[in-house]
């Protein structure tokens, strides 16, 4: 797919070079602005260390954080700088602006590691603006993309930038691609997939691609209620994607696709006054489905025991409320003990894994939800397509 077509760190010379490194340090912050999960930051440290081992004179790190509309102090990269200092025990010089970058950039004698301000404070980033990319490129000799979580975005710092500097992928992106490509091309079997989430529309391409590759495909999350609706069941106030009802009906013809037989329902997803477990034909009009029921959860756990490879993308319940996180958490804990190669496909599922302190119990936990989703769809990653010569 990609690994044999694009340049990697081993293919470029970094000796005495200034390296512009795109990372994905878009980490979740709590209400006080503190980092909740530093997984993505830790995963790029190997690339930073490797660049210096190959003789780089300076590493200039750039990333985005959050979804600011212009400059927003709460999304400043200061919190990332402080975390990097703790993790690397090195001096990190952080720049407060990207305006006139050439003029304010310290030389390598003054700063070995420089952290740029949030890329998304500037319109040029998300517009894939050539001038913005050119201004970034002028401070470095080589560009390295280690931001797997942004590889599906056509943004200046991962796309347009490659026109102006010799470019390659970093160790983290290489690792992610290797694991996903091996899994999709030559998995150990039985190969099972678990696909959850609330929006059926975003998961249809994933289901369509994976169903031809896996031995069984288990569905969960809010999107399952569209499948029940097209079978004639009452789903109450549950999520329903009427725009994709025809596609859902067609998918039901594939015997590899397995839906839960019972669900947890409630009268409100955030502050329920009542909730209970019912079979899918017993959902009252005033209730909504919010998790997988115990019978279906037990069935999934039993079926997973003979798997050799498992890929999971998307929570199988409304995990934001602990009352409806049981199936997701229980299944994760069970799979953490599995003999199978379990690959967690980024996004919310990876965040839950980190919160449960289970990351080291899985074969791989991806740093990119949207990017891993694109790989599972079998579609391209625009930031990597531009690297193919």
Decide if 151 contacts 381 (C-beta within 8 A). Answer: yes
Active site includes 31?
no
pLDDT tens-place values along the chain, 389 residues long: 899 999 999 999 999 999 999 999 999 999 999 999 899 999 999 999 999 999 999 999 999 999 999 999 999 999 999 999 999 999 999 999 999 999 999 999 999 999 999 999 999 999 999 999 999 999 999 999 999 999 999 999 999 999 999 999 999 999 999 999 999 999 999 999 999 999 999 999 999 999 999 999 999 999 999 999 999 999 999 999 999 999 999 999 999 999 999 999 999 999 999 989 999 999 999 999 999 999 999 999 999 999 999 999 999 999 999 999 999 999 999 999 999 999 999 788 998 998 899 999 999 999 998 999 999 999 899 999 999 96
User: Token digits for 296?
Assistant: 């279906």
Among 196, 347, 368, 369, the one annotated catalytic: 347
β-strand partners of 58:
18
H or E element, residue 208: helix 200-210
User: Token digits for 201?
Assistant: 């529309």
Q: Which fold has domain 9-173?
A: Rossmann fold (3.40.50)
Predicted pLDDT of residue 1: 81
Predicted pLDDT of residue 389: 67
Predicted pLDDT of residue 162: 98
- Report the alpha-carbon distance of residue 230 to residue 225 in Å, rounded: 9
Q: Whole-prediction pTM value?
A: 0.93
Among 236, 370, 378, 380, the one annotated catalytic: 370
The beta strand positions in the chain, using DSSP E, are 18-22, 58-62, 93-94, 113-115, 142-145, 167-169, 191-195, 216-219, 257-258, 262-266, 275-279, 288-292, 309-313, 341-344, 364-365
H or E element, residue 370: helix 369-377
Cα separation of the two ends of the chain: 14
Residues of the chain with CATH 3.40.50.1260: 9-173, 187-377
CA distance to 197, 262, 265, per residue, from 235 (Å): 17, 12, 10
Active site includes 153?
no
Gyration radius of the chain's alpha carbons: 22
Residue position matching structure tokens 């990119």:
368
Decide if 77 contacts 68 (C-beta within 8 A). Answer: no
| 3-state secondary structure at position 304 | helix
Among 17, 18, 22, 40, the one annotated catalytic: 40
Residues 6+ apart with CB under 8 A from 288: 235, 236, 237, 238, 239, 265, 266, 267, 268, 269
Among 199, 256, 282, 359, the one annotated catalytic: 199
β-strand partners of 18:
58
Active site includes 347?
yes
User: Token digits for 63?
Assistant: 């990333």
The CATH-assigned architecture of domain 187-377 is 3-Layer(aba) Sandwich (3.40)
β-strand partners of 168:
144
* Bond prior to 190 in cis (omega within 30° of 0): yes
* Bond prior to 21 in cis (omega within 30° of 0): no
Q: What one-character-per-residue DSSP string does 220-253 give?
A: -STTHHHHHHHTT---TTS---GGGHHHHHHHTT
User: Token digits for 360?
Assistant: 């080291």
- Nearest Cα to Cα of residue 148 among 185, 114, 177, 115: 177
Predicted pLDDT of residue 180: 96
- Report the alpha-carbon distance of residue 172 to residue 182 in Å, rounded: 16
């Amino acid at each position: 797919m990609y690994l044999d077509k694009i340049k990697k760190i081993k293919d470029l010379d970094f000796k005495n070079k200034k390296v512009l490194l795109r990372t994905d340090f878009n980490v979740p912050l709590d209400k006080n602005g503190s980092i909740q999960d530093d997984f993505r930051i830790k995963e790029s440290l190997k690339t930073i260390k490797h660049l210096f081992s190959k003789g780089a004179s300076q590493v200039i790190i750039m990333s985005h954080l959050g979804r600011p509309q212009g400059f927003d102090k709460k999304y400043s990269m200061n919190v990332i700088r402080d975390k990097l200092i703790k993790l690397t025990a090195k001096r990190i010089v952080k720049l407060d602006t990207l305006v006139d970058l050439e003029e304010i950039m310290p030389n390598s004698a003054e700063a070995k590691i420089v952290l740029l301000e949030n890329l998304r404070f500037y319109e040029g980033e998300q517009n894939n603006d050539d001038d913005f990319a050119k201004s970034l490129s002028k401070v470095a000799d080589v560009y390295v993309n280690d931001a797997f979580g942004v590889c599906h975005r056509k943004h200046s710092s991962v796309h347009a930038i490659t026109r102006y500097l010799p470019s390659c992928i970093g160790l983290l992106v290489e690792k992610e691609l290797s694991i996903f490509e091996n899994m999709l091309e030559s998995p150990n079997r039985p190969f099972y997939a678990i696909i959850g989430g609330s929006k059926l529309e975003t998961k249809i391409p994933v289901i369509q691609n994976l169903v031809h590759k896996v031995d069984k495909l288990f569905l969960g999350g809010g999107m399952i209620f569209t499948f029940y609706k097209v079978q004639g069941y009452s789903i109450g106030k549950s999520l329903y994607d009427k725009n994709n009802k025809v596609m859902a009906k067609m998918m039901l013809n594939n015997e590899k696709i397995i839906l839960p037989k019972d669900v947890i329902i409630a009268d409100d997803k955030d502050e329920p006054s009542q909730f209970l477990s019912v079979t899918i034909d017993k959902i009252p009009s005033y209730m909504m489905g919010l998790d997988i029921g115990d019978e279906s959860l037990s069935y999934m756990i039993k079926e997973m025991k003979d798997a050799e490879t498992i890929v999971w993308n998307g929570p199988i319940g409304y995990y934001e409320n602990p009352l409806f996180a049981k199936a997701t958490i229980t299944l994760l804990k069970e799979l953490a003990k599995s003999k199978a190669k379990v690959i967690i496909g980024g996004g919310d599922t990876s965040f839950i894994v980190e919160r449960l302190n289970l990351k080291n119990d899985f074969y791989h936990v991806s740093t990119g939800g949207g990017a891993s989703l694109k790989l599972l769809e079998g579609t391209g990653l625009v930031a990597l397509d531009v690297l193919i010569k």
